[in-house]
Structure 1
Amino acid sequence: MRSDLRPVAAGLVRAWTRVYTHGLPRAERTARLAEIDSDLWESEHDPRAPRGGWAAMQILGRLLIGIPDDLAWRMDIGATAHRAPVRELAAAGMMTGPRRVSAFGLAATIHAIAVSAVMWAAASTGPELSTPQGVAGAGGTGISRRFPHNASLRDRLVRYKPSNGPVMPTPVQSGATPPEAGVFGTVRAAAMAMAVRVGLIAPPRFASHAASSASEPSSSNNESVMKMPVQTLAAPGKARAFGVVSAVALAVAGHVGLISPSRPAAQAPPPSPDRFVAKLLQNRYALSVRNGQLSGAGAQVLQSAIAQSRFVLLGENHGVAQTPELGAAVCNAADSERFHTMAIEEGPFAAGELESWARRRDGLAQLAAFERTFPDYSLSIYNSREEFDMLQQCARAAQGDFHLWGLDHEALGAGGPILSRILKSRLGEPARSAMQQLRQKDEDGHRRALQSGGIGDLFMLSADDQDLARGGAVLERDGTPEARSLFASLVESHEFYRISPADYDNARRRERLMKTRFVADYTRAAATAATSPKVLLKFGAYHIYRGLNPVHGSGIGNYIAEFAETQRAQSLHIRLMAVKGSEPFYPRVGQPARLRPFNLDDDPRSQYLQPMLNNRLQSDWTLFDLRPLRHDFNALLRGTNRELATLVFGIDILVMVPEGTPSTEIH
């Protein structure tokens, strides 16, 4: 079976990036590596990209064609960096003294030698691997094996697996090693050493006792141990010269940190339990938000991901002010392809009101007046200063049309404002009378709730089903389409609130409602837009997961991910998580919010987050790019952690905030 060569090609790209960024300031190097990793990840997941060997050839072709651009970029960045004071350059680890040969020149030479060696090894089926004259294994035997002609490219490099039979010993060759074999063996050894070091291939296993290994199959997989021949420096002219050049190249590579001497697998330590953490740290970045703008090493990672995604989902714990702060920065980071549409966790009525206020300079005053008229639970989330400020910033960043889609049910206290809006429309007398009666019952329910403090007295929960049915019937005869739509949203919300939101079936019903409303809004927008709408969605954290979320639901996040694939587009799933802080909650109707402290470090339910919590930055926000962790996740983790797996495969970008502050309620 032919192996997938994309990991080999991608590894070469990463190795080349490490080479030509060597010696740059850490921020520049980290940003460049992050950009390359993002490009490779997107290429791998692009449904239009070729597969198999063609994909590897495409990656290698882009690598070779892009080398001049990479060198030009390196010289530009290097020139910029060298305008900095010598002390700053030295602190960044760059060479500041005179030197005969540049480290970058040596690194580029090493890259050329390595690529040539690997391509030479890949292009040939290879001569016999044999023990040179004068070198014998235990018992006076050598090993001889030829790679089969139908072996894949990766097999020919070093992953060729012998047949299930034992390796047969052959007599030691008495003749001198041919020059071609010496050259090939030297180049192959150099290519193998470098490829093993940078992780392109698995190291070959060396037998500790040649005689016993040659006659007994492996106990783990019933395969023979493949023994590599000992190379000799007694090869004639060309082989010896090339061997010396290869040795020097590998030595220089080791000196600059590209490779290190390999050890036989028999002496290698077992895999470190911290491999997952090591991979996590490779994809950890500092992130800051100042005045609506992203900064820090993680800014470029996030901006690149936003630019490549048609749908960006931001998940939050409600009531934490840092989420709308990040949301505004996401809108401003979209650059030329702006977010003209935002979907939020409010009902259609609330979203319509918020959209009109967000566009107005006096929008905050309009929202405050609305809250005074309908003081309790008329909005679910966007009745805080930080949330509304985010909406206004996103509306300004759109530089044109800006639309809000409400995909959720209406808020607990939305009965009053919805019925008031219906009464302002053109109604027949029977419909107007029915709506006035319902509006009076809403006011009565609110007074009872203020006395009892319980939300159960609010009209959205206490409304009589027969009253609602009669109201809907008269609106069908005497109401406008807008009135009927608003009333239907009220009834839908009432039916949801009658059952606990934690009920499994009720939660699934809510998820279906969000998906249905999204596809309806998107279809209408796409029908009139010149290009497919780019949408920002902001919801509670569990709603935005790919796949099943932590409570085993398939929410709007998974629907968007699947929908994006059908559109040949991409979705980006971001979760903001405050490590500690306080969040508001409302114990009684009519009473101001109280603050509930939280601390993930002390929460037993957050044990699965320990790799992130233990390795977060203490002062800045920490951005963890979780996408690269999905490759070989189980091997990296060396154990089963379903909660962590749900996070890694469900969320693309995790942003950890050291301390979350509660949002400020508008009165």
Structure 2
Amino acid sequence: MLLAWGPARAQDSTLTRLIRQHQFPMVAAGAQFSGAGWDKLQQSIQKSQFVLIGEGHGMAQIPGFTAAVAQVLQPAVFAAEIDPYVAQDLTALAAQPGLPTAYSQRYPQALCFYNWAEEFELIRTLRAQRVQVLGLDQVFIATAGRFYARLAERAKGKPAKAYLQQQAAKYQAQGQAFERAGKDDFSMAEQRQSALDSLVNITRQEGPDVRQMVQDYAASYAIYQGQIKGTGGHQERLNLMRRNLLRYARGTQGPAGQPLPKMLFKFGANHLARGLSLASFGEFYDLGNLAQDLAEAQDQKSLHLLVMGKQGTAASSLSPRSPEKPRAYTVADEPSLKLFFDQTAGPAWNLVDLRPARRALSAGKLVVGQAVQRVLLGYDYLVVIPETTASHPY
């Protein structure tokens, strides 16, 4: 036992030493940051064309941090884990005063993560700086009522328009009923394939914009069904998001191939690592890997930030009516990060520079498990929040 335990302990000691030597405190005051860690991070942001924030969802402190990063980066585009249609609605709603409570009562949970107040205020802050909101994800599962209403607005044929209006009202009422009951159920998840076939058939003679929307909806429906039934869906979702990013890149660069603008990404942590995703249930290459390739193809840099809470609470539902309480978590819930968390202490935030450990790993001087290896290879910095509070649905 000692022979097996000794090398493992030595490797842990090497990584522990590198973490301790390359961590820097950051003092957080809302969306304002200071300290040695923030100074170091600002320097890296200023050298980057893309900054990617891989987060733990539902933590109220992360939108403020993202806003602070945006102040330094000055991005033209904010790429978010929402679909392009939700991005359009968010852009319009952010121009209006107050929170979009009326919209959310009409279409419960339809703004995805931006149903949380802190996340919506981030969009408002970015839009005030004229940052474009770019949705790269599949059509969100809670948007059936809103999506059919949007289709009805664009449909030209009377039969199609009448059908879409009828279905929009049906799914809107169903979504509101789910909300009143405090259920995280969604019309899109419960639709049968026959409903999708009817949608495709009734819009067959419509213009290309409507047909494209229907194609997007049908593709997303198939992904959700695969995930619900346990027959797949994850790889298809990643492929869709990467196609959406490539489509944006082609449209922006044009035939002259001009450089892509500065972009700020914020997605779940699994999505934004370079190389292999952090997802433990397979080997996937995600948006973060493509973003790095796009940056390097134009002789620019991508900066990958993993932002996680050490302990505290995180929102577990988008709905204010949900009976689910915020999820409490501790260091033990993220085993791949436990060694990092154990070396950091509050009350300040901590910035851990992962690059020295990555260099040691590449040089064969460090041997770690696969989960830790993916963290080191996938991200440049780990931002440790000592304690988080849950995001608030409005």
* Fold in common (TM above 0.5): yes
Is the CA contact 2:304–2:379 (under 8 Å) kept in the aligned structure 1?
Answer: yes
Say if 1:445 and 1:462, in contact at 8 Å, map to a contact too: no
Q: Secondary structure at the match of 2:213?
A: helix
Cα offset for 1:541? Answer: 0.7
Q: Offset at 1:452?
A: 7.2
Query: With structure 2 as the length reference, what TM-score do the two structures score?
Result: 0.88
Alignment of 1:390-401 (within 5 A): 390-396=122-128, 398=129, 401=130
Q: Distance in 2 between matches of 1:491 and 1:657?
A: 39
Residue 588 of structure 1: how far off its partner (Å): 9.1
Q: What is the aligned partner in structure 2 of residue 339 from structure 1?
A: 75
Q: Which residue identity lines up with residue 299 of structure 1 in the other structure?
A: W
What's the offset of the Cα at 1:587?
A: 10
The counterpart of 1:558, out of the listed 289, 294, 307, is 289
- Could you tell me which residue of structure 2 aligns to residue 546 of structure 1? 274
Bigger Rg, which one: 1
Cα pair 1:576 1:656 within 8 Å, conserved: yes
Structure 1 partner of 2:36: 297
In structure 2, relative to structure 1, the CA distance for the partners of 1:525 and 1:592 (3 Å cut) is farther
Letter aligned with residue 318 of structure 1: H
Say which of 178, 185, 192 aligns to 1:464: 192
Aligned to 1:180: none
| Aligned equivalent of 2:139, options 407, 410, 415 | 410
Q: Report the Cα offset of residue 405 of structure 1.
A: 1.0
CA distance in 1, matches of 2:176, 2:63: 33
CA drift at 1:356:
2.3
Matched, 1:534 2:293: no
Tell me which amino acid in the other structure corresponds to 1:512: N
Q: Secondary structure at the match of 1:274?
A: helix
If asked which structure has higher relative contact order (CA below 8 Å, sep 6+), I would say 2
CA-CA distance at 1:652 after TM superposition: 0.7
Q: 1:203-255, CA deviations, whole angstroms, 9 ceiling, x for partnerless residues?
A: xxxxxxxxxxxxxxxxxxxxxxxxxxxxxxxxxxxxxxxxxxxxxxxxxxxxx
For residues 525 and 294 of structure 1, the distance between their equivalents in structure 2, rounded to whole angstroms, comes to: 33
Aligned partner of 2:210 in structure 1 is 483
| 1:324 alignment partner, one of 63, 87, 104 | 63
The aligned residue for residue 568 of structure 1 is 299
Q: 1:343 to 1:638 in 2, by over 3 A?
A: closer
* Partners of 2:371 and 2:294 in 1: CA distance: 25
Counterpart in 2 of 1:435?
Answer: 164
Please report how far the alpha carbon of residue 629 of structure 1 lies from its aligned counterpart in structure 2 after TM superposition.
1.6
Task: Please tell me whether residue 514 in structure 1 is matched to residue 250 in structure 2.
Answer: no
1:368 and 2:101 matched: yes
The CA distance in 2 between the partners of 1:587 and 1:596, in whole Å, is 12
Distance 1:452 1:663 in 2: 21
Q: CA deviation at 1:514?
A: 0.5
Name the counterpart of 2:341.
613
CA deviation vs aligned residue, 1:482-532 (integer Å, no higher than 9, x gap) = 433333332222222212269573110110011000111122123399753
Q: 1:284 to 1:341 in 2, by over 3 A?
A: same
Structure 1 range deviating more: 431-440 or 542-551 = 431-440
Change (3 A) 1:374 1:313: same
Q: CA contact under 8 A between 1:342 and 1:405: conserved in structure 2?
A: yes
Q: TM-score, normalised by structure 1?
A: 0.53
> 1:437-452, aligned counterparts within 5 Å?
437-443=166-172, 445-446=174-175, 449=178
Deviation, structure 1 residue 582: 1.1
Query: Structure 1: which amino acid aligns with 2:224?
Result: Y
Say whether the 8 Å CA contact 1:577–1:656 is kept in structure 2: yes
- Secondary structure of 1:476's partner? coil
Deviates more, 1:480-489 or 1:319-328: 480-489
Query: Which secondary structure does the structure 1 equivalent of 2:312 belong to?
Result: strand
The offset of 1:561, in angstroms, is 1.5
Q: Name the SS for the 1:315 alignment partner.
A: strand
The amino acid that maps onto 1:420 is A
8 A Cα contact 1:634 1:640, kept in partner: no
For residues 311 and 648 of structure 1, the distance between their equivalents in structure 2, rounded to whole angstroms, comes to 19
Question: Any unmatched runs of 5+ in structure 1?
Answer: 1-270
Letter in 1 for 2:107: F
Query: How much does 1:545 deviate?
Result: 1.1
Aligned to 2:51: 312
Distance 1:503 1:572, change over 3 A: farther
Q: Which residue is equivalent to 1:379?
A: 111
3-state SS of paired residue (1:597)? strand
Length, aligned pairs only: 381
| 1:422 corresponding residue in structure 2 | 151
Gaps of 5+ in 2: 1-9
Q: Percent identity?
A: 26
